[in-house]
Amino acid sequence: MVKIRAGITAGDINGIGIELILKTFNDQDNLDRCTPIVYADIDVMQYHMHALALHGVSLNVIDVEEDAKEGVINVFSSWGEPVNFDLGKSSPAGGKYALESLERACGAIEKRLIDIMVTAPLNKNNIEHRGFTGHTGFLADKFGSGALMIMVSESIKVALATGHIPVAEVARELTENLVFEKIIALHKSLIEDFGIAEPAIAVLGLNPHAGDGGLIGREEIELIAPAIARAKELGIDTKGPISADGFFGARSYKQYDGVLAMYHDQGLIPFKAISFDSGVNFTAGLSIVRTSPGHGVAYDLTGQGSASANSLTASLHLACDTFQRRCKREDLPLS
């Protein structure tokens, strides 16, 4: 059987991304799962490899994806110029190379030279790209406008109705149609990407105590509840609006296959409290399979060798499993 070709972006070279890549593929089980192609630079990989004393890692430099070998980390020469490191700090170079790596991987997956994309963490603040708000929006522009961010772990799956926008804009962004569309997208992804036949979905309210019957806001009554009613009419098992604090405090998420939060921190704070070391950022609604660790660049851990690769490893496993599930559903070959 042809192995899945996993395109791995470098992320911010001054963060922990390269360290996580090296640690992940220093495990033979992960090399057995796929053929990794890292869009970086051999000097960058070797710099981090020697800093971590991972001298047993095998690197293979390639100029085209077709030359990738199994059982090693294939490094696609992406920059072709000397790289200046500033480990543990945000720098223009960190943003430049992160974006170039991402664009290379996007080009490759568009041409089907790789099968899946796993993106190492980058820093949005040093990316010099007009309107860049993160991986999800960037990939949605290229591979599907109906993108849905789902944070995934073995314990919980949390999707977001709104993404990286200021809290002050959340209520203005929410509409009945938006909430309905996100419920539909989450339901579809739980079935098609995660293999859950009849998923149960919890929809959180926006306001404290889910609006308390209109005393603390009317979004639940006017926007969220009607969207849930429409989803139920389609036969989707949906409950809500549910007060977020009690929902997570009572661990009620264990009763559901997916949770739809109304805004970023409402969903991600409890998610990371539950699954910080193993969480995966999965982008549903795209024509490609893309995952990423559920954490950031962690400049404070860079170069110390102490960063956990659990989240990147989980991202790789989820991407491979999802791709295989899609191929089976569509009766397609792996490559």
Whether the per-residue pLDDT at 335 is higher than 70: the answer is no
Residue 282 lies in a domain: no
Same domain, 10 and 125: yes
Same domain, 137 and 212: no
State the pLDDT confidence band at 78, using cuts at 50, 70 and 90.
Answer: confident
Same domain, 182 and 211: yes
Which tokens hold the place of 76? 């696609």
Residue 139 lies in a domain: yes
Same domain, 136 and 31: yes
Same domain, 203 and 123: no
Residue 149 lies in a domain: no
Residue 204 lies in a domain: yes
Residue 150 lies in a domain: no
Same domain, 95 and 170: no
CATH number, domain with residue 259: 3.40.718.10
Whether the per-residue pLDDT at 333 is higher than 70: the answer is no
DSSP state, 239?
E
State pTM to two decimals: 0.91
Same domain, 180 and 228: yes
Mean pLDDT of all residues belonging to the chain: 93
Q: Is 212 helix (H, G, I), strand (E, B) or coil?
A: helix
In sequence order, what are the beta bridge partners of 150? 159, 282
Residue 333 lies in a domain: yes
Which tokens hold the place of 139? 């990939």
CA 114 – CA 287 distance, rounded (Å): 13
Which run of H or E residues covers position 89?
Answer: none
Same domain, 53 and 186: no
Same domain, 21 and 137: yes
Task: Pick 163 or 130 by higher pLDDT.
Answer: 163
Residue 130 lies in a domain: yes
3-state helix, strand, coil in the chain (%, to 5): 45, 20, 35
Same domain, 5 and 39: yes
Residue 112 lies in a domain: yes
State the pLDDT confidence band at 62, using cuts at 50, 70 and 90.
Answer: very high
Helix residue spans in the chain (DSSP H):
17-24, 28-33, 42-52, 92-110, 135-143, 170-173, 176-192, 219, 225-233, 244-249, 264-275, 310-330
Domain that holds residue 179: 155-277
Contact partners, residue 154, CB within 8 Å, separation at least 6? 275, 278
CA 323 – CA 288 distance, rounded (Å): 9
Question: Considering the chain, what percentage of its residues have pLDDT values greater than 90?
Answer: 81
State the pLDDT confidence band at 292, using cuts at 50, 70 and 90.
Answer: very high
Same domain, 119 and 78: yes
DSSP state, 332?
-
Contact partners, residue 93, CB within 8 Å, separation at least 6? 13, 14, 83, 84, 86
Total domains in the fold of the chain = 2
Same domain, 227 and 116: no
